[in-house]
Structure formats: C-alpha cells, structure tokens
C-alpha cells in the first residue's frame, strides 16, 4: 500500500481507533491477492508480504465456521466474498471497509456498514 494513499490513511485511522479482525480465510485471501503480478507496479513482493504479516499481527484472529460462509443471507453477488460477511457476523463488526464493489453494494448489510476507504476516513 502506498504511503499516504487513501487506503493507507484508512488503515492508519482503523489501527488507531478500531479493533481490526481477520479470519484465516480473509488473511489467506489477502496473501493470495497480493501475490498477483499486477501489484508489482505499486509495491515489490517482499513489501507486500510484509504488509500481510503486519495485518496478521495487528488484527484479532477470529475463528469463523466455514459452513457459515455458505449460509450467508443475503449473500454477496461474488460468493467468494462471503468470507468477509461471515467474519463480520462472527466478530459482531460495526463496519467493513472495502474497495470491492461486490461488498459495497450491500451497504448496509444486516446492521453492518460497508464503506469505502474514502468514506471511512470522512
């Protein structure tokens, strides 16, 4: 993540004011996505892996029932993103911060705000 970018500002704000939660599935997804070649233009792989480790260290790991991902209602139109909704339910989250349109269109979802990094900063 580029220093000073909107996502960087949102993460800094969240780290200072919120309890961040992750599940093994969401951490695995982050690591998998950040291995994509398209991110080479923004940050080298070593830095991206260090970012995943930072997130792992700075979030509370929540055990999420994987069967629960299959029964999310209403589901995300991208079913692979149900893992984020299942985490939010299990963690009793107030907000999901995401740039993913498949999640953002659900706002609000079962009492959970789903906002972009820009909206989170505001």
Tens-level pLDDT at each residue, the chain (122 residues): 678 889 999 999 999 999 999 999 999 999 999 999 999 998 899 999 999 999 999 999 999 987 666 678 888 999 999 999 999 999 999 999 999 999 999 999 999 999 999 999 99
pTM exceeds 0.75 = yes
Backbone torsions φ then ψ of 48, nearest 5 degrees: -65, -40
Residue the block writes with tokens 């830095």: 47
Tokens representing residue 76 in the block: 């995300």
2 contact partners, CB below 8 Å, separation of at least 6: 8, 42, 43
- The C-alpha atoms of residue 110 and residue 16 are separated, in whole angstroms, by 26
In the chain, the domains with their CATH numbers are 6-121 (3.40.50.1010)
């Amino acid at each position: 993540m580029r220093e000073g970018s909107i996502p960087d500002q949102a993460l800094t704000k969240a780290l200072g004011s919120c309890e961040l939660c992750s599940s093994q599935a969401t951490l695995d997804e982050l690591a998998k996505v950040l291995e994509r070649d398209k991110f080479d233009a923004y940050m080298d792989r070593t830095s991206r892996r260090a970012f995943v480790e930072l997130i792992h260290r700075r979030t509370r790991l929540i055990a999420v029932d994987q069967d629960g991902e299959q029964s999310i209602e209403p589901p995300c139109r991208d079913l692979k993103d149900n893992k984020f909704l299942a985490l939010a339910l299990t963690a009793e989250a107030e907000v999901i911060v995401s740039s993913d349109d498949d999640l953002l269109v659900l706002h609000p979802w079962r009492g959970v705000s789903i906002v972009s990094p820009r909206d989170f900063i505001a």
